[in-house]
């Protein structure tokens, strides 16, 4: 028997590099092991921009959006951990539990996390074109249908519009500081890029007890956002960034630099901003054309560590309850990450603001 469908509005990427289109899509009822979710909110992440312009590749046409929260509408056979009416946070990278990375406990590197993104999940109402769920969950829509592993129970006491941010920005920024860079109390930290992830990283550095927290961004207008998140110093990015940061840290450089931009020049500046023996964690997703170079002598002399970071090296099922405790205790302020609340139609403008280096997190509120 064919599955029943219903029409919802979504932001569709018709082709790589093409403008988003707000269109009706035919969404089926959930099949075995699937959940249908009515979105309360979805964050607009830089990764969505990277998917739209081809920096990261996904099958198209697609509905993007991977950071969201909402309410379960219905569940398919075999789903037992959530039920209709439950609040849930979307998990765009569910771990399979059986690949090599999962066997090592490195679920953020799961080899099968994005398998679902290659499956058709809906059709465009106007012409019946098959649609793919960008990064598994297709959160830029009024409702979505996802695999059961893509939903986690929303933490009690946190509005779903705030909980949406937990699904990517906060898991990534907090995890980058606590799990990848392993910032310790009293250490000095620099965060490059004051967007949604960068603001979460600044709050995480404050929670970790960092003594000096330097925020770096191309925009002078973001200083107040950064200081509210926990920055003790603010540097407007320039060719002298590393020198300025060393000047703020007794000419030593910071213990840890967290790069949230994904550009070669920023990665290099973050590396140069750390002390001898310091640690640089790269969170930002850059294109293949962004080549970063080091010479053999400096690698030996400085003794620094440079590491990549996927999804904050986080385990969402483990870390969501932990983050919720920080929120309820007042240590983590989700609302302060959001600088703009928009409708679906506002996503293209949010992309333009990202390219211009404006604002923190734009949040689509349904």
157: confidence class by pLDDT, cuts 50, 70, 90: very high
Give pLDDT, residue 260: 97
CATH number of 172-310: 3.40.50.720
Q: Residue range 301-305: average pLDDT?
A: 97
- Which superfamily is assigned to 5-167+333-365 in CATH? Medium-chain alcohol dehydrogenases, catalytic domain (3.90.180.10)
145: confidence class by pLDDT, cuts 50, 70, 90: very high
Q: Residue range 110-139: average pLDDT?
A: 96
Give pLDDT, residue 34: 98
358: confidence class by pLDDT, cuts 50, 70, 90: confident
1: confidence class by pLDDT, cuts 50, 70, 90: very low
- CA 228/CA 135 separation, integer angstroms: 31
Q: Residue range 176-189: average pLDDT?
A: 98
Give pLDDT, residue 206: 98
Q: Residue range 126-133: average pLDDT?
A: 96
Give pLDDT, residue 141: 98
- CA 45/CA 143 separation, integer angstroms: 19
Domain with CATH 3.40.50.720 in the chain: 172-310
pLDDT digits 0-9 by tens, 310-325: 999 999 999 999 999 9
Lookup: tokens for 60? 């198209």
pLDDT digits 0-9 by tens, 328-354: 999 999 999 999 999 999 999 999 998
For the ranges 2-6, 56-60, 231-235, 296-300, the lowest mean pLDDT is seen at 2-6
Q: What is the mean pLDDT of the chain?
A: 96
Domain with CATH 3.90.180.10 in the chain: 5-167+333-365
Asked if pLDDT for residue 55 goes beyond 90, the answer is no
Asked if pLDDT for residue 2 goes beyond 80, the answer is no
pLDDT digits 0-9 by tens, 210-258: 999 999 999 999 999 999 999 999 999 999 999 999 999 999 999 999 9
Q: Residue range 170-181: average pLDDT?
A: 98
Give pLDDT, residue 3: 67
Give pLDDT, residue 57: 86
What percentage of the chain reaches a pLDDT higher than 70? 99
Q: Residue range 32-37: average pLDDT?
A: 98
């Amino acid at each position: 028997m064919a599955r029943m469908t219903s029409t919802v509005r979504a932001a569709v990427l018709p082709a790589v590099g093409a403008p988003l289109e707000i269109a009706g899509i035919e969404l089926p009822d959930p099949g075995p092991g699937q959940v249908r979710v009515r979105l309360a909110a979805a964050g607009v992440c830089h990764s969505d921009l990277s998917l739209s312009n081809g920096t990261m590749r996904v099958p198209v046409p697609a509905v993007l959006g991977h950071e969201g929260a909402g309410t379960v509408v219905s569940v398919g056979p075999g789903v037992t951990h959530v039920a209709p009416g439950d609040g849930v946070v979307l998990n765009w990278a569910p771990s399979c539990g059986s690949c090599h990375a999962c066997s090592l406990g490195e679920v953020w590197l799961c080899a099968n996390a994005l398998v679902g993104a290659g499956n058709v999940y809906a059709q465009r109402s106007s012409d019946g074109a098959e649609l793919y769920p960008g990064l598994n969950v297709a959160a830029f829509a009024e409702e979505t249908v996802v695999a059961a592993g893509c939903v986690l129970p929303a933490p009690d006491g946190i509005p779903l519009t705030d909980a949406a941010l937990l699904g990517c920005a906060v898991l990534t920024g907090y995890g980058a500081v606590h799990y990848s860079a392993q910032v310790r109390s009293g250490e000095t930290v620099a965060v490059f890029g004051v967007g949604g992830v960068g603001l979460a990283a600044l709050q995480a550095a404050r929670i970790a007890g960092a003594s000096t927290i330097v925020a770096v961004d191309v925009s002078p207008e973001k200083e107040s956002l950064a200081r509210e998140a926990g920055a003790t110093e603010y540097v407007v990015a320039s060719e002298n960034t590393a020198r300025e940061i060393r000047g703020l840290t007794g000419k030593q450089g910071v213990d840890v630099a967290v790069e949230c931009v994904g550009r070669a020049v920023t990665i290099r500046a973050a590396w140069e901003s750390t002390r001898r023996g310091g640690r640089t964690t790269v969170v930002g997703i850059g294109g293949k054309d962004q080549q970063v170079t080091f010479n053999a002598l400096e690698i030996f002399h400085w003794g620094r560590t440079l590491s990549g970071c996927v999804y904050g090296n986080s385990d969402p099922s483990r870390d969501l309850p932990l983050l919720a405790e920080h929120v309820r205790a007042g240590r983590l302020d989700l609302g302060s990450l959001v600088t703009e609340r928009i409708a679906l139609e506002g996503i293209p403008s949010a992309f333009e603001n990202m390219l211009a280096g404006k604002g923190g997190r734009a949040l689509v509120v349904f």
